[in-house]
């Protein structure tokens, strides 16, 4: 038994919930710049965990480490009890980690439906041969997955834009389609990078509702980066605060809000 | 003044008078241009497939055409039956695609496009060297009839004249159209097709939904290997299979500039414009320049496009948001 899995076990027993993902002493550098230095925190199964911090705090880098886009120089990540030093994006996706991006990263030439269908890639197993023929089992499979995708489309209330190429959609809807694509992967852990950025109040309320429903109805664990403090306080069970690549606070929204370090980071310190 | 008006007449009017005075010749010229155009389009399609999915400009596409044709012909010459030789050649192209992905692309992920281009130039030299080593440098004739393709021709009497259709040309056109249709269907209707388009659109997002870039790359290289094989058979049947075929890939460059590097319809339309355009220009305007215009027509057309519409007819105009 390694040291890490022991810490995971103890944390789990003290909280009364199980840890889905734990980040241990992760350091990530680009050349001489430290994007993340020695950060540890965990995400419990079934919770909504917010990651907040001023611009350049290392929040997005953190998500990129979790889903395998970046490989940290030090530290490790344990997911579902398994510890990996380096994880590839493909492995992350196939073990149930989905994500959305800060600047919407959709397949802009494809329709809403095709974008969300692309999230089913890993669930579809028929090989190249059957697909090339486009008959029999491959066709049957396509139909089954289509049905699941239609459910997501209903859930996100985007039936009216089903056939439209996403490049032409308004920003708020694009964000919704992106969420749909991530949902199509039936993830256990969903990473949302600023899901409400650039939205108006109504769109934010819709998105908050989707995130909450996704968490309660589908049981999806969610880690989200968000700048709107109101949203964070409403949604999150626990919040971790980063500043200049370091963790400065970790706790419930109320605890974090009254933490002096956090107030200093956001408002600046009088010198 | 007089000389100028004669010159204008010779360039702008006389060729059209010639066209209408002998309509059967016009049809013949357009048909032959159409067939070359289809083959240019096929080569361009091979480029587009790879470029879309991996931003690699595959300089080796031309040599892949030669290589595929050589493997096929040589296997037959070793005594393998034609149908089996065809299947084995498809297998060889598959192996080639897998090894290119494993040995070259995987090591060069996220490198600059120029580096990837250089890698494919290196690849060209390797394939060429290997081809000459195994199969020798001398031209070989394509096993057209053995593959069940007719080498005869049919005449069509029209406008008091005849138009001759080589059967192999008809076959080339039909097969090319079927291939393009099959590829279009595959791209739009299947998971792997969707994954291909996803990778073409946004690498990171594609990775995040668990699409394996390595798998997609192997598939596009295999697909363009098959396209190369078909082009090699058709082109080899019209001339010979030799390393000189490689230069037709340069014509495809002009096609790509016309059609746009990322567009499948662009490759097709561009190929037809270049093919038909150069034949018409050769026959009707060629005498003004003293002949030989077929060799440069495509490049001049490409140059004009580069000046006025650098993204091609169907290419995406790249606007980066900062």
CATH number (3.20.20.190, 3.40.50.300, 3.40.640.10, 3.40.50.720) of A1-96+188-214+221-271 reads 3.40.50.300
pLDDT at B321: 43
* CA closest to B184 among chain A residues: A132
Domain positions in chain B are 22-308
Q: Which H, E and C letters describe chain B, residue by residue?
A: CHHHHHHHHHHHHHHHHHHHHCHHHHHHHHHHHHHHHHHHHHHHHHHHHHHHHHCCCCCCHHHHHHHHHHHHHHHHHCCCCHHHHHHHHHHHHHHHHHHHHHHCHHHHCCCCHHHHHHHHHHHHHHHHHHHHHHHCCCCECCCCHHHCCCCCEEEEEECCEEEEEEHHHHHHHHHHHHHHHHHHHHHHHCHHHHHHHHHHHCHHHHHHCCCCHHHHHHHHHHHHHHHHHHHHHHHHHHCCECHHHHHHHHHHHHHHHHHCCCCHHHHHHHHHHHHHHHHHHHHHHHHHHCCCCHHHHHHHHHHHHHHHCCCCCCCCCCCCCC
Digit-coded pLDDT (tens) for B138-189: 888 777 777 777 777 777 777 777 778 888 888 888 888 888 888 878 777 7
Contacts of A114 in chain B (CB under 8 A): 194, 197
Contacts of B201 in chain A (CB under 8 A): 106-110
Contact B202 A105 (CB under 8 A): yes
In the predicted structure, residue B127 carries a pLDDT above the cut 80: yes
Q: Is B219 within 8 Å of B192 (Cβ atoms)?
A: yes
pLDDT at A211: 92
Contact B207 A90 (CB under 8 A): yes
In the predicted structure, residue A45 carries a pLDDT above the cut 60: yes
Low-confidence winner among A5-9, A83-87, B66-70 (lowest mean pLDDT): A5-9
Q: Is A158 within 8 Å of A191 (Cβ atoms)?
A: no
A89-122 per-residue burial string, b: 16 or more CB within 10 A, e: under 16: bbebbebbbbbbbeebbbbbbbbbbbbbbbbbbb
Residue A184 in tokens: 């199509």
Digit-coded pLDDT (tens) for A145-181: 888 888 889 888 888 888 888 888 888 888 899 999 9
What is the Cβ-side half-sphere exposure of residue A132, based on CA atoms within 13 angstroms? 6
Nearest-Cα distance to chain A for B208, in Å, is 6
pLDDT at A13: 44
* CA closest to A187 among chain B residues: B209
Nearest-Cα distance to chain B for A133, in Å, is 9
- Any idea what the Cα angle at residue A135 is, between residues A129 and A137, rounded to 5°? 80
Q: Which residues contact A172 (CB under 8 A, 6 or more apart)?
A: A198, A199, A200, A203, A207
Per the DSSP assignment, residues forming a β-bridge with A98 are A190
In the predicted structure, residue B123 carries a pLDDT above the cut 50: yes
Residue B245 in tokens: 């075929």
In the predicted structure, residue B276 carries a pLDDT above the cut 90: yes
* CA closest to A128 among chain B residues: B192
Contact B219 A182 (CB under 8 A): no
What residues 184-203 of chain B have any CB closer than 8 A to a CB of chain A? Answer: 185-186, 189-195, 197-198, 200-202
Per the DSSP assignment, residues forming a β-bridge with A26 are A39
pLDDT at A222: 92
Mean pLDDT value of segment B45-66: 84
Contacts of A117 in chain B (CB under 8 A): 191, 194
- 3-class SS at A251? strand
In the predicted structure, residue A9 carries a pLDDT above the cut 50: no
pLDDT at B92: 92
Pick left, alpha or beta for residue A251 (phi over 0 → left; psi -120 to 50 → alpha; otherwise beta): left
pLDDT band at B6 (very low <50, low <70, confident <90, very high): confident
Contacts of A99 in chain B (CB under 8 A): 208
CA distances from A8 to A11, A42, A46, A64 (A): 5, 9, 16, 22
Contact B210 A121 (CB under 8 A): yes
pLDDT at A16: 55
Contact B195 A118 (CB under 8 A): yes
Domain positions in chain A are 1-96+188-214+221-271, 105-186
Per the DSSP assignment, residues forming a β-bridge with B221 are none
Distance CA B73, CA B71 (A): 6
Q: Does A124 touch chain B (CB under 8 A)?
A: yes
- Mean pLDDT, chain A, whole residue set: 82
Distance CA B164, CA B28 (A): 7
In the predicted structure, residue B300 carries a pLDDT above the cut 50: yes
Contacts of B193 in chain A (CB under 8 A): 131
pLDDT at A212: 92
CA distances from B189 to A82, A256, B270 (A): 37, 49, 25
Q: Does A103 touch chain B (CB under 8 A)?
A: yes
In the predicted structure, residue A3 carries a pLDDT above the cut 50: no
Burial of B52 (0-12, 13-18, 19+ CB in 10 A): buried
B208-224 per-residue burial string, b: 16 or more CB within 10 A, e: under 16: bbbbbbeebbbbbbbbb
Distance CA B211, CA B209 (A): 6
Q: How many CB contacts within 8 angstroms connect chain A with chain B? A: 90
Mean pLDDT value of segment B183-203: 79
- Residue to substitute from B94, B208, B216, interface A, most A β-carbons within 10 A: B208
pLDDT band at A136 (very low <50, low <70, confident <90, very high): low
Q: ipTM for the complex?
A: 0.70
- What φ, ψ does residue A221 adopt, rounded to 5°? -80, 135
């Amino acid at each position: 038994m390694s040291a890490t899995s022991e810490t995971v076990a103890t944390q789990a027993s003290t909280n009364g919930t199980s840890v889905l993902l734990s980040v241990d002493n992760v350091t990530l550098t680009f050349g001489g710049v430290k994007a993340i230095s020695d950060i540890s925190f965990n995400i419990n199964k079934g919770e909504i965990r917010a990651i907040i911090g001023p611009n350049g705090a290392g929040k997005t880098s953190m998500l990129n480490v979790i889903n395998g886009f970046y490989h940290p120089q030090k530290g490790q990540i344990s997911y579902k009890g398994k510890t990996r030093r380096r994880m590839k994006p493909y492995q992350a996706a196939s073990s149930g980690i989905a994500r959305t991006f800060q600047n919407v990263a959709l397949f802009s030439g494809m329709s809403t439906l095709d974008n969300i269908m692309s999230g089913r890639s890993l669930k579809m197993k028929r090989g190249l041969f059957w697909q090339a023929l486009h008959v029999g089992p491959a066709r049957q499979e396509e139909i089954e997955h289509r049905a699941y995708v239609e459910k997501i489309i209903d859930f996100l209330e985007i039936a009216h834009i089903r056939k439209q190429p996403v490049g032409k959609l308004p920003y708020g809807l694009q964000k919704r389609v992106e969420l749909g694509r991530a949902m199509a992967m039936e993830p256990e852990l969903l990473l949302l990078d600023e899901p409400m950025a650039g939205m108006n109040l109504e769109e934010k309320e819709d998105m908050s509702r989707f995130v909450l429903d996704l968490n309660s109805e589908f049981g999806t664990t969610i880690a989200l980066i968000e700048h709107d403090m109101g949203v964070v306080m409403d949604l999150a069970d626990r919040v971790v605060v980063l500043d200049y690549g370091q963790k400065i606070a970790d706790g419930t929204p109320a605890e974090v809000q009254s933490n002096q370090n956090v107030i200093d980071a956001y408002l600046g310190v009088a010198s | 003044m007089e000389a100028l008006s004669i010159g204008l007449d010779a360039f702008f009017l006389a060729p059209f008078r010639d066209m209408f005075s002998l309509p059967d010749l016009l049809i013949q010229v357009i048909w032959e241009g159409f067939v070359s155009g289809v083959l240019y389009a096929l080569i361009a399609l091979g480029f587009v497939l790879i470029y879309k999915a991996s931003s690699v400009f595959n300089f080796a596409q031309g040599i892949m055409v030669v290589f595929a044709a050589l493997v096929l012909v040589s296997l037959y010459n070793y005594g393998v039956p034609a149908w089996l030789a065809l299947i084995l050649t498809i297998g060889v192209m598959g192996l080639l695609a897998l090894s290119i992905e494993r040995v070259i692309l995987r090591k060069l992920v996220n490198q600059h496009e120029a580096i990837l281009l250089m890698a494919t130039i290196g690849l060209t030299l390797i394939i060429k060297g290997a081809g000459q080593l195994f199969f020798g440098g001398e031209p070989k004739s394509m096993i057209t009839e053995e593959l069940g393709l007719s080498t005869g021709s049919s005449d069509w009497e029209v406008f008091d004249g005849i138009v001759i259709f080589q059967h192999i040309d008809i076959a080339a056109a039909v097969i090319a159209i079927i291939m393009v249709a099959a590829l279009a269907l595959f791209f739009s209707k299947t998971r792997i097709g969707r994954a291909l388009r996803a990778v073409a659109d946004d690498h990171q997002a594609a990775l995040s939904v668990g699409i394996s870039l390595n798998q997609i790359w192997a598939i596009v290289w295999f697909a363009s290997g098959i396209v190369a094989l078909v082009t090699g058979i058709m082109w080899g049947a019209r001339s010979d299979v030799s390393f000189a075929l490689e230069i037709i890939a340069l014509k495809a460059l002009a096609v790509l500039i016309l059609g746009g590097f990322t567009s499948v319809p662009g490759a097709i339309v561009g190929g037809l414009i270049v093919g038909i355009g150069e034949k018409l220009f050769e026959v009707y305007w060629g005498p003004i320049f003293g002949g030989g215009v077929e060799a440069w027509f495509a490049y001049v057309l490409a140059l004009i496009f580069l000046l006025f519409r650098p993204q091609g007819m169907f290419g995406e105009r790249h606007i980066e948001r900062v």
